Structures are given as C-alpha cells and as structure tokens.
Structure 1
Amino acid sequence: MNIRHLEFFVVLAQELHFRRSAERLGITQAPLSLAIQSLETELGARLFHRTRRSVALTEAGLALLDDARAILARIEHAKESVWETVSGDVGRLRVGFTNASTLSPFFPKLIHAYRTQRPKVNITLLELSSSRQIEAIEQREIDVGLLRMPESVPPTDLVFTPLMEEPLVLAMHARHRLAKASSIKVKDLRDEPFIAYPRQAGVAVHEKIIALCAKRGFEPQVVQEAQQASTLIGLTATGLGIALVPSTLQTIAVPGVVFRELDETDTITTLYIVHRRGDANARAMQFVELALGLR
C-alpha cells in the first residue's frame, strides 16, 4: 500500500473537496484523483461517493479512515524516533570511569550537566580500569571512557583527549618519617613498603608508579594490594606502608593519614576522555564535546 496514497486519502476525507485537497497537498487534482482510484483498485472497494457537487465517504472509506490515520501517525512517530536518536536526544550512552576519577569534582559536574541537557538519554556508568576501558571501547561494550593513559598502549583507532592533569601525592601515616619532610622525591621511597593496586588490574596509576621508580633505578616493594582507592588510603593509616595516589584522593579523609606532594615535575598523571575515531554515535560525541567545554 502506497503511503503517499494514504496521505492523499486522509486529506480528501477531511476536506471532502478535490480542489481544496489538491491545493492543501500542493498538487493538481489529476494526480489526486489517480491516487484515490489506485487505492480503491488495490483495496477492491469504493472509498468515496462522488457527484459533481459533493464528495462523501463510503462505508468502506469510513472503515479505512481510522486505520489510515493510525498508520500515518506511527510512521511519523518512527521518523521522530530516528531523528531523536541520530540527534542524540534519546537512546543509551555507556560511560566507563576509573575508581579514582569519581572523587574529582569534574566527574559529578560532567555527569550532572549531561543528564540536564539530555534528560531522555539513558546513561549507564561502568567502573572499569583504564586498560579494561580501552578494550571495552574498541569492542563497543561502552561508548566513552574517562581514564588515565596506560604506560603502553598498542596501536588503536581511538581518540585520547586530555581533560585534566593532577600530581601524584604521597599518602602515609601521620607519624611516618617523611610526614614532615621539606622536600620528597621518588628516590626517597626506595626502601619504603608500598600499598598499591594489583599489577594485573590494569590500573594506569600503578603502571605510572612502576615506571617512575624504574626511572630512579628501583622497583617498589609492594607489601599489600588493594582494589579500591578508599581501601588503599585506609590501609596507609595502619602504618603498613605508603601509597602514591592521584591528588584527588586527598578527599578521602582518614584519621591518621597525611598527604604530601612530591618535589618533581614528572609525577603528573592525566585524566583522558576516550572515544572511537569517526564514531557516528551522536550521544557519545555530545558527551565528549560537553566534557571538553567543562574542563
């Protein structure tokens, strides 16, 4: 059934006048008449009583009218749904984030701003390590990632855009020998017991720490591993060891724990936003643009 013919039929059913209907449709009367005749032939029923002075719906025409309106309404709804999806106004957005990134004021600010601008978008937040996020974006399990760049990233067709830099700080027990030091460098930690993320967890900060220590000629002595940032900071309060963490983790207030900055320039870690190159997902690109505008 020709959709255009249904549109002609509904307009004629409303106007009950060929000339006015043709003017409303922006066509001449001839193609309108041919369209109605074609529809009647296809359905095997007359839809209008026609005389020189009047046009009226037949019983078959009345039966078709409600269905025709419903069909056209569904088609219009489908067009609007596709447009909204392409424009980024509806649909789903899957965002990966690292454990520590939620402690930065930037993270809640970004998520709240996006939800305010796109209230119909279903945003799903997934806590993943940096390495796992890269895999998930490549495999289309998530759309956008907020992560710290691993020390080694294989060739990939992803776009990494820096959002913010922050220094690594030393977390330790308040009575630690370095707690009141005027200057602290990574080399001063050579003989210290470390509390760190598991090596196999794919946490970029851990890789950064390993690289910093290797640059100074030693490997950190990890005496305890912790999966969560809060656990890591909490364990330093026991005096079991020290931890190098992004400065945003200072918001985790644990009695007996102090934080000190390192007196070196290469102890900086960067938070990136990552997406697939040339991604046609409008929601993902709008999220990226919003993040870059807020940084």
Structure 2
Amino acid sequence: MISLRQLKYFVEIVDAGSYTRAAEHLFVAQSALSRQMKELETDMQVNLLQRDSRHVELTEAGQLFYARTKRILEDIDDAIVQAHQIGKGEQGRIRVLHSSSVTLSAAMGDIFNTLLLRFPGVSLDFSRAPSEHQALDIDEGRADFGLVRLPILRKFPNIQIKKVFSEKLVVALSKDHRFAQRSHIGIADLRNEHFVSVPHKDRGGLSYLVAELCMRHDFFPKAARATSRKASLLNLIEANLGIAIVPESMQEIAPAGIRFLQLPPQDAQSDVAVIYRRDASPMIAGFIAAFLALMPQAEKI
C-alpha cells in the first residue's frame, strides 16, 4: 500500500538531488529513506530513481510520477489550508448588497481591498438593491450583508443595523441650469424644480430622506418627466432634464457637465449603515466586525 509519507519522501529526494540532503531536510535517517523508496518501487513494480553515490536521477516513469505526485501533494496542502479556514469561518463567498446611492468609492474600495487581504479565503459578490429591499433579501437568505442609506422603514427582528458613516447631501444640476453659477442653495429654492429621482415618503433610504427634507419646507418634490434610479440619473441631470439631491460621494462618478451645490448644514446630513443577520455565520460576522473596525465613525459590534 503506497503511503502519503512515501510520496513526500520521493518528492523531497528529487527536489534535494540526493538521499543525504533529503534526509537532512526531513530529519530522518538515510537508511529509512532508502527503505521507503525500495518499498514504493516494489509496490509500483517500476523503477523511479537511478542512484549513484552522489546523486539521483529520475527514470522516464519517475519523471511522470514526480510531476503528478508533486501536484497531488500541493493539492493536499491547499485542501488542508482551506479546511482549516472553513473550520475557523474564514473561507467562502459573501454576497454584498449596496444601495445605488451608496457608491463604491475609492475610499470604500481601499477598505474592501484591505479586508480581502485579511481574509484570503473570502470572495465578494456585489449587487445593487434599494435600501428598503435589502433587509428582506438578507432576512430570507438571498444576501449576507448590505450597505444601505438610512432610514429603513420596515423592521425585521433578525436584522441588525449598524451606522457606519455620515455623509453630506448636495444638489446636482446641469451646468446649463439657471442655478449653475451658485455655490450654495436652500431646499426651499427647489420648490419649482423637477426631480429626476422620484422621492417617495414610504420607500425608505435616500428617497424617503429627500421627501422628508422637502416636506419640512412645505412642498413635495415634483417628478420630472424623465426619471431614473441613482446611477443613470446623473446623465439625465447633465442633459438638464431635472435635478436631484444626492450624496456628496456621487461627485466621484459624475459627468463633467454637472454642478453640485452645497445645502445648509441642517438639511445636508445622511447616514449609511451596514445591515446583516443577527445569526450570521462566523465568517460573515468576522468580516463585518473587521469592516466596522476600519470605519472611523462606525458603531462597533
């Protein structure tokens, strides 16, 4: 019966180039190596090595057996590492949702790259979903954790919400808009403007927040005749088809033809949170804990 020890000894002898050096590397007696190789060749009924007093050479059969055996041993080592990672909750795929208003900025990319270095057995699968829908997807097991724009209106007992950072809101409009030369603007000044992202007071996320801001100033935002979700709305704004109130981070992905105006501080606050199941697996819980630790403003688990 061929043993794993014999395979390891065989590869080490070939790599070292002699029985003497292989014995030193393996901390075994040279006679033990010779005995194991003789048993291996006897069981296989083929000569694998040609020996002399100074070195060893592979036979033609030995060359084939060496290449295959080395690959097998490497696969076994990889399997051991992966099994260890799985056992410790460090191996697997994490399904990440993010709202279209939570852009994967360069700063956020740096954080995820840092995490992937810390968790070499983890891969990430990103998808976009509205903030209000993410909690349901995670609660029902279709995703593992999400990045949402608060507030989340519908509550799920098994869903944990942790604020990760606050972000300013700004008004995005075309360079050809009549307000384009301003640097600041008030919510009340938008009373007669048309919004390309339709706010909704019952939808949660940024949509709810924008509707609430406008209602504080005694109006509900008017929908433009051309509307869109967060990513392509920037193209509609550039075409001067309407305006939007958006997170400041969207400036990173905005076309050149868009201007961003500052809002008064009391109207310019938005919070982003991470959401996940309270009974998340050790791998996911560990990844999220590390994510929160890298976010200076985050509430710690």
Instruction: Please confirm whether the aligned pair reaches a TM-score higher than 0.5, indicating the same fold.
Output: yes
Q: Would you say how many aligned residue pairs link Structure 1 and Structure 2?
A: 222
Shift of the 284–199 alpha-carbon distance from structure 1 to 2, 3 Å rule, reads same
Match for residue 226 of structure 1 among 218, 225, 228: 228
Partner of 2:130: 129
Structure 1 Cα separation of the partners of residues 256 and 122 of structure 2: 41
- CA deviations 1:173-232 (Å, max 9, x no partner) are 223232233641111111111111575995611111111111211111111211242x11
Q: Normalising by structure 1, report the TM-score.
A: 0.66
- Is the alpha carbon distance of 1:171 and 1:90 closer, same or farther for their aligned partners in structure 2, counting shifts above 3 Å? same
Structure 2, gaps ≥5 residues long: 1-42, 44-77, 296-301
User: Is contact 2:201-2:209 (8 Å) kept?
Assistant: no
* SS of equivalent residue, structure 2 residue 161: strand
**Structure 1, gaps ≥5 residues long:** 1-61, 63-76
Structure whose CA Rg is larger: 1
Q: How does 1:163-182 map to 2 (within 5 A)?
A: 163-181=164-182
**C-alpha separation between the residues in 1 aligned to 2:236 and 2:101?**
16
Contact 1:198 1:226 in 2 (8 A): no
* Corresponding residue SS for 1:116: helix
Aligned counterparts of 1:204 and 1:283: Cα–Cα separation in 2: 28
CA distance in 2, matches of 1:95, 1:226: 23
SS where residue 274 of structure 1 aligns?
strand
RMSD of the alignment, in Å? 3.0
In structure 2, relative to structure 1, the CA distance for the partners of 1:250 and 1:107 (3 Å cut) is same
- Residue 213 of structure 2: aligned partner: 212
TM-score under structure 2 length normalisation: 0.65
Asked whether the equivalents of residues 197 and 225 of structure 1 are also in contact (C-alpha less than 8 Å), the reply is yes
Distance (Å, rounded) in 1 between the aligned partners of 2:104 and 2:85: 33
For 2:241, the equivalent position in structure 1 comes to 240
d(CA) in 2 for partners of 1:252 and 1:202?
25
Pair 1:198–1:215, CA change in 2 (3 A): closer
Q: Which residue of 2 aligns with 1:196?
A: 197
Structure 1 distance, partners of 2:86, 2:203, is: 34
Q: Secondary structure at the match of 1:196?
A: coil
Q: How far apart, CA to CA, are the structure 2 residues paired with 1:200 and 1:188?
A: 20
Rate the CA distance shift 1:180–1:83 in 2: closer, same or farther, 3 A.
same
- Decide whether the 8 Å contact of 2:134 with 2:146 is kept in 1: yes
SS in 1 for 2:146: strand
Change (3 A) 1:200 1:137: farther
